[in-house]
Amino acid sequence: MIPQFFRTLALSSSLALVFAGGAMAQVADPADQTAPGVQVTNTISLTYNGADVSGEPVAVTLPEVSEHSAVFTVARKIDLSVTAEASDGEVTVMPGAQAVSFDFIVRNLGNGTQGYNINVTNTDGELPGETDGLGDTFAGLTYSATTTTAPGTYYVQVAGSDYDTTANTNAGDLAPGETLTVTIVANIPDIATDGLADLFAVTAISLEEDTDTVVQEVRTNALDSETPNVVFADAATEWSFEGGPSEANGEPNGQDADNTNLRVTAPVITATKTAAVVDENRPGSSFECDTGSGTANSGTPPAAVPGACVEYTIIVTNDSPSETAATNIVIKDPIPGNTTYAGVTQGGFTSVTFNAGEGANGTVTATLATLAHNDTAEFRIRVTID
């Protein structure tokens, strides 16, 4: 039979080991976590009644010796988060916009100070229901290691200073709970059209403090070793933008990432032009082709005979999915051969003018200051057939 003392000591040691190897408690503030390398000692005390002396039991207390204690060393927990600050993981921009910036926050959730290498990638963004969000004119923004204003480029800053993502260097050490801000600054080309997109992913990779060396997991040290184990405790990556995968890494690896979709929103204007004979200029007609007034006299259906008045109707529509207003719309319409300019109806346009010296037969220029999303506007040109 095992003496009571050894049974009690074995039970105490077993409990200590189970506690050390179990799930880590969640700490609300990473700064409150126990630092790596701290040794936690748990010591038992044991008393029992020994032999009777003169009929009275004698209490025995064992001396505090090393066999009564169990020791474990707090491991170095590698944990972090990368969070896109953009609402719903997407930033919308207009064509030609310069210095468009959006942030990612890197936070040290571990229990020790360490550095971070920042990696940034960008790929053709894809909008829901589309196979290619970029088309043929805009193949994604080009990376620059330093600040630039060149259209079609982007650069990266960490804590307000330029950071070269290709150098694999430490962006800065963070104590538990501390954060750093990664900012992507983009210059959108003028050729970008509505719906074009570029999907940016920012990955933070844990480094040894004050070095460019990637942290390696170590689980081989004894539980009570003065050199603590190094444990990856980060969760699987969760993407902010709906177009990305739900998890980038299923196993803890000392890294985390998030993404933001940069999407161009621009008005999409469509136009139609139709022609109709409004008056054949038959005897009895009082129709004035220059003003569009009076009573027309035409057969059924009206025919395009010489002397007839033909009216062109030009309609423009802003049917962009971006819900962005179009501005400074200009339409030029050269008067075709075998016709003579007669007049215009301005309609919903800001101005409609005729320049007899532009083109072989003159040109009509129509301008429209603003056309809201889903709105249409029209104007009319009348000519007589030679």
State the CATH number of the domain containing residue 249: 2.60.40.10
pLDDT band at 111 (very low <50, low <70, confident <90, very high): very high
- At residue 8, does pLDDT exceed 80? no
Do residues 322 and 206 both lie within one domain? no
Which of 206, 239, 264 is the last residue in one of the domains? Answer: 264
Do residues 120 and 39 both lie within one domain? no
Among 239, 247, 278, residue whose Cα is nearest residue 383: 278
- Calculate mean pLDDT across residues 198-207: 92
Which of 53, 75, 97 is the last residue in one of the domains? Answer: 75
Do residues 65 and 18 both lie within one domain? yes
- Calculate mean pLDDT across residues 270-279: 93
- At residue 143, does pLDDT exceed 50? yes
**Residues 88 and 244 sit within 8 Å (Cβ to Cβ):** no
pLDDT at 237: 78
At 237, list the tokens.
């990556």
Query: With b meaning 16 or more CB within 10 Å and e meaning fewer, what string describes 341-374?
Result: bbbbeeeebeebebeeeeeebbbbebebeebeee
Among 260, 325, 256, 243, residue whose Cα is nearest residue 100: 260
| Spatial distance between the Cα atoms of 206 and 228, rounded to a whole number of angstroms | 17
CATH number at residue 363: 2.60.40.1170
Do residues 286 and 301 both lie within one domain? yes
Across 114-123, 125-134, 170-179, least confident range: 125-134
Geometric angle at alpha carbon 234, from 80 and 34, rounded to 5°:
70
Do residues 47 and 136 both lie within one domain? no
Distances 97 to 94, 151, 217, 254 between C-alpha atoms, Å: 6, 9, 44, 36
**Domain that residue 362 falls in:** 269-385
| Spatial distance between the Cα atoms of 9 and 320, rounded to a whole number of angstroms | 76
Which of 264, 284, 302 is the last residue in one of the domains? Answer: 264
Do residues 118 and 222 both lie within one domain? yes
Q: How many folded domains does the chain comprise?
A: 3
Q: Is the model more confident about 70 or about 176? A: 176
Do residues 146 and 252 both lie within one domain? yes
Geometric angle at alpha carbon 174, from 168 and 178, rounded to 5°:
130
Do residues 107 and 202 both lie within one domain? yes
| Spatial distance between the Cα atoms of 62 and 60, rounded to a whole number of angstroms | 6
Q: What's the pLDDT tens digit per position in 336-358? A: 999 999 999 999 999 999 999 99
pLDDT at 80: 95
Do residues 255 and 275 both lie within one domain? no
Strands 230-232 and 76-78, bridge-based pairing: parallel
Do residues 71 and 83 both lie within one domain? no
Do residues 207 and 322 both lie within one domain? no
Q: Is the model more confident about 139 or about 111? A: 111
